[in-house]
């Protein structure tokens, strides 16, 4: 909106000359702005600097519209009737945010368990920090499908009007949230690693990595509601569950869901350890690089990974060489991982690899070359031939872990 | 069949250099490339065209010099290319980008399949594909590593964290693909010559009947209020000694930090 402060305006018409859109007239010695013609370019504000009679206020949607939205929601992702860790992590951060805004924290659960009390999930959500749980237990929601989940969630959001909705940045959250946001025509920030509240403006302040973590951006959604974000798994801390915590559990039954709402059909779900590896959720990853020299030597990596309960990762060079399938690849064109422990063996640390793993909590780097860039991000650096040191690490760790 | 592939021009991260003093990324002067996952999408489209016939149209929104990446896709084998470029499209968030692309796709019309890369390597949002699917009311399948088309249906393998799904949808549908799906081809000499002569269609908001309030910065819900370079990691501890000594010390350290 653009305003003329009548008490300051002297009708000098400097603004009229400054306006290239012909949107300002002087009427009774006061500037009058034609809002239809005005483009909010600000030229008149500059021209009127001396008198300070014109100002622009940024406000696109009606304020009433925005203030109708109350409460913070988290999408409580479940698979096969069990809550995902990230749902509990969202409650952890959501609790702080809701308290800062003095609003309630609700979890919304979509599932198709068909058993009373949804396999205990609503209670678990209350114990982990939720004030309220809205749930729909419907056979068509048994397996995640974007269109029907989006329909159910959009109906709930339009009914209860939450101010903020958070999702886990999982393969489900990142498929569902953008669809819901586009339908609601609101903003969505992807894969956030930091969330805070600007109390004065009542805004969710979202921080996220871009360029694979080489650049951080802080983002707000000023004029659209709900403010939505997906949140990176393994980053937020969950609360210690308290069985004494109580809350309200609301089953929503009157939202119509039909098979026709689904335009995709899941023919099969395959758990195949040979062609999938859950690097994103792994706590420990041991990765091999070009230094391994040949495909067979990945067994050195696998042995160490097995001893410490880790998953096997790989650099792009080894995948491109055909030593290991691409679903093991860590890096910008592979997977972005953030385990508690990342052990890089024979990986020089090209930027494309660092981008995929540099946010790991603890990084151990083994490389012959003391100048390898991987040492710039390592917590512990070992300048040595991986063939000398890695088998010794495996044996030592096996022995020490075996004793306990 | 008509396949539309949406691509993004991104800086080549392989060429990223860091300022030695501040450890911050030097963004100026980075060469531009086709977003790597989008190259997989182009390759998937070309393979489907080889199998089923039809045409592959490549669409992008960006600065005028994104024309270069569209020419590269023609060199790979795409039939034609369209670039949405105008100052009014600029500074769009994923909502405004999805709107602009979906409006352009409506204008192209008669499509059977829309292909995207799973995400762009600069923004890493993965939100534009699903956003376009929503605006065009299409079924979406994200993180796809295999595509089969038959009898007006697409069947795809969608990769989840610890498993994969076989998902079927009626055409038209929108898919986003992962790297595993294929190995993008190099441009042929004939392709390069064709690309040189090819005309890249330029569309402005008026050409696609886009509502100006829904595009560019005006149509964006998210605003970036700050960008900063994260603190670099400091204090790498170099472990030295015999392999056995190093293993002992490392184990103790990792134990201390509760990671083992």
Comparing CA positions, the residue from A382, A311, A336 lying closest to residue B253 is A382
Interface check A37 vs B, CB under 8 A: no
Per DSSP, what are the bridge partners of residue A220? Answer: B223
What's the gap between Cα B145 and its chain centre?
15
A178 vs B122, B130, B246: nearest CB? B130
This complex has an ipTM of: 0.91
Residue of A nearest to B168 (CA): A265
Q: Please name every residue paired with B55 in a beta bridge, in sequence order, or none if there are none.
A: B2
- In 3D space, the residue among A199, A67, A218 whose CA is nearest the CA of residue B222 turns out to be A218
Q: Residues 158-217, chain B: which have Cβ within 8 Å of A?
A: 158-170, 173, 179-180
pLDDT above 90: residue A117: no
Nearest CB to A351; choose among B16, B95, B259: B16
Instruction: Give me the residues paired with residue B25 across strands.
Output: B18
Is the CB of residue A183 less than 8 Å away from at least one CB of chain B? Answer: yes
- Cα dihedral B184→B185→B190→B194 (10° resolution): 0
- CA A93 to chain B, closest CA, distance in angstroms equals 21
Domain B2-214 superfamily per CATH:
HUPs (3.40.50.620)
Helix H or strand E encompassing A194 = strand A194-198
Task: Please judge whether A276 and B162 are an interchain contact, meaning their C-beta atoms are less than 8 angstroms apart.
Answer: yes
Nearest residue, CB atoms, B230 vs list A213, A280, A283:
A213
Asked if residue A396 has a cis previous peptide bond (ω within 30° of 0), the answer is no
The encoded tokens of residue A128 equal: 């982990």
Q: Which residues of A touch B41 (CB under 8 A)?
A: none
Q: Which residue has the higher pLDDT, A374 or A36?
A: A374
pLDDT tens across A241-274, in order?
999 999 999 999 999 999 988 999 999 999 877 6
The domains located in chain A, with CATH, are 2-57 (3.30.70.20), 65-261 (3.40.50.620), 284-402 (3.40.50.1220)
Here the tokens at position A39 are 């483009």
- Determine contact: B47 vs chain A, CB below 8 A: no
On chain B, the residues whose CB falls within 8 A of the CB of A280 are: 161
Domain boundaries, chain B: 2-214
Q: What backbone torsions phi and psi does residue B244 show, to the nearest 5 degrees?
A: -65, -45
Query: Considering only residues 127 to 166 of chain A, which have any Cβ-Cβ distance to chain B shorter than 8 Å?
Result: 146-147, 150
Q: With a CB-CB cutoff of 8 Å, which residues 96-155 of chain B face chain A?
A: 98, 121-131, 133-135, 138-143, 155
CB contact under 8 A, A326 and B98: no
Q: pLDDT, tens digit, for every residue of A70-88?
A: 999 999 999 999 999 999 9
What rounded mean pLDDT belongs to chain B? 93
Q: Residues A38, A44, A45, A46: what is their CA dihedral angle, to the nearest 10 degrees?
A: 140
- Cβ-based contacts of B131 with chain A (< 8 Å): 178-179, 181-182
Cβ within 8 Å, pair A364-B250: yes
Tens digit of each residue's pLDDT, chain B (260 residues): 999 999 999 988 766 666 666 656 666 678 899 999 999 999 999 999 999 999 999 999 999 999 999 999 999 999 999 999 999 999 899 999 999 999 999 999 999 999 999 999 888 899 999 999 999 999 999 999 999 999 999 999 999 887 899 999 999 999 999 998 999 999 999 999 999 999 999 999 999 999 999 999 999 999 988 888 777 677 889 999 999 999 999 999 999 988 88
Average pLDDT, chain A: 91
Q: Say if the Cβ atoms of A216 and B166 lie within 8 Å.
A: no
Q: Are A355 and A213 in contact (CB under 8 A)?
A: yes
Q: Do B167 and A150 touch (CB under 8 A)?
A: no
Q: In this predicted structure, what is the pLDDT of residue A60?
A: 44
Question: Of A187, A266, A362, which is closest to B165 when you measure between CB atoms?
Answer: A266
Q: Which chain A residue shows the shortest CA-CA distance from B242?
A: A389
| Cα of A95 vs its chain's centroid, Å | 17
Question: Who among A216, A284, A392 is closest to B230 (CB)?
Answer: A216
Contact A219/B at CB under 8 A:
yes
Higher pLDDT among residues A28 and A226, named by residue: A226
- Choose from A41, A174, A329 for mutation: most chain B CBs within 10 A: A174
């Amino acid at each position: 909106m653009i305003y003329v402060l009548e008490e300051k305006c002297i009708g000098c018409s400097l603004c009229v000359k400054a306006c290239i859109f012909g949107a300002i007239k002087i009427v009774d010695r006061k500037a009058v702005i034609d809002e239809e013609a005005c483009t909010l370019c600000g030229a008149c504000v500059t021209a009127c600097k001396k008198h300070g009679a014109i100002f622009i206020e940024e406000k696109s949607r009606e304020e009433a519209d925005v203030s109708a939205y109350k409460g913070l929601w988290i999408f409580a992702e479940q698979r096969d009737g069990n809550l995902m860790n990230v749902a509990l992590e969202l409650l952890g951060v959501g609790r702080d945010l809701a308290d800062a805004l003095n609003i309630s924290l609700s979890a919304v659960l979509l599932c198709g368990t068909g058993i009373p009390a949804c396999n205990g999930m609503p209670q678990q959500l209350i114990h982990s920090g939720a004030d309220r749980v809205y749930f729909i237990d419907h056979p068509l929601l048994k397996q995640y499908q974007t269109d029907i989940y989006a329909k159910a969630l959009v109906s709930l959001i339009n009914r209860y009007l939450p101010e903020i909705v958070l999702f886990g940045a999982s393969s489900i959250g990142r498929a569902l949230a953008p669809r819901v946001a586009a339908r609601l025509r609101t903003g969505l920030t992807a894969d956030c690693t930091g969330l805070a509240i600007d109390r004065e403006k009542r805004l969710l302040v979202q921080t996220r990595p871009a360029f694979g973590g080489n650049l951080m951006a802080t983002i707000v959604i000023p004029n659209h509601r709900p403010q939505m974000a997906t949140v990176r798994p393994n980053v937020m801390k969950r609360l210690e569950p308290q069985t004494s915590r109580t809350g309200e559990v609301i089953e929503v039954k009157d939202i119509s869901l039909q098979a026709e709402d689904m335009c995709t059909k899941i023919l099969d779900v395959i758990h195949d350890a040979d062609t999938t590896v859950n690097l994103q959720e792994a706590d420990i990853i041991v990765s091999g690089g070009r230094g391994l020299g040949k495909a067979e030597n990945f067994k050195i990596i696998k042995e160490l990974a097995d001893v410490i309960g880790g998953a096997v990762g790989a650099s792009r060079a080894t995948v491109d060489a055909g030593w290991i399938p691409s679903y093991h690849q860590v890096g910008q064109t592979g997977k972005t991982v953030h385990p508690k422990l990342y052990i890089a063996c024979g990986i020089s640390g090209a930027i494309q690899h660092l981008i995929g793993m540099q946010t790991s909590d603890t990084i151990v780097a083994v490389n012959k070359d003391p100048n390898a860039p991987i040492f710039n991000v390592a917590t512990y650096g070992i300048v040595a031939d991986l063939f000398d040191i890695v088998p010794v690490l495996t044996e030592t760790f096996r022995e020490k872990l075996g004793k306990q | 069949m008509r396949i539309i592939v949406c691509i993004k021009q991104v800086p080549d991260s392989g060429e990223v250099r860091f300022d030695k003093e501040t450890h911050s990324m030097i963004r100026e002067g980075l060469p531009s490339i086709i977003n790597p996952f989008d190259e997989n999408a182009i390759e998937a489209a070309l393979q489907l065209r080889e199998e089923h016939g039809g045409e592959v149209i490549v669409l992008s929104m960006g600065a005028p010099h994104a024309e270069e990446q569209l020419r590269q896709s023609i060199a790979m084998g795409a039939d034609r290319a369209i670039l949405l470029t105008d100052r009014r499209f600029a500074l769009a968030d994923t909502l405004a980008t999805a709107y602009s692309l979906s409006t352009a796709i409506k204008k192209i019309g008669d499509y059977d399949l829309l292909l995207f890369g799973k995400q762009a390597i600069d923004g890493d949002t993965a939100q534009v594909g699903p956003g376009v699917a929503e605006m065009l009311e299409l079924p979406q399948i994200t993180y796809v590593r295999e595509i089969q088309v038959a009898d007006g249906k697409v069947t795809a393998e969608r990769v989840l964290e610890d498993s994969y799904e076989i998902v079927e949808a009626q055409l038209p549908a929108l898919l986003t693909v992962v790297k595993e799906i294929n190995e993008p081809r190099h441009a042929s000499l004939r392709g390069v010559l064709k690309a040189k002569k090819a005309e890249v269609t330029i569309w402005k908001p008026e050409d696609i009947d886009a509502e100006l309030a829904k595009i560019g910065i005006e149509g964006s819900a998210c605003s970036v209020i700050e960008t900063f370079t994260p603190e670099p990691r400091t204090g790498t501890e170099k472990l030295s000694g015999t392999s056995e000594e190093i293993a002992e010390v490392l184990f103790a350290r990792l134990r201390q930090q509760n990671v083992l």
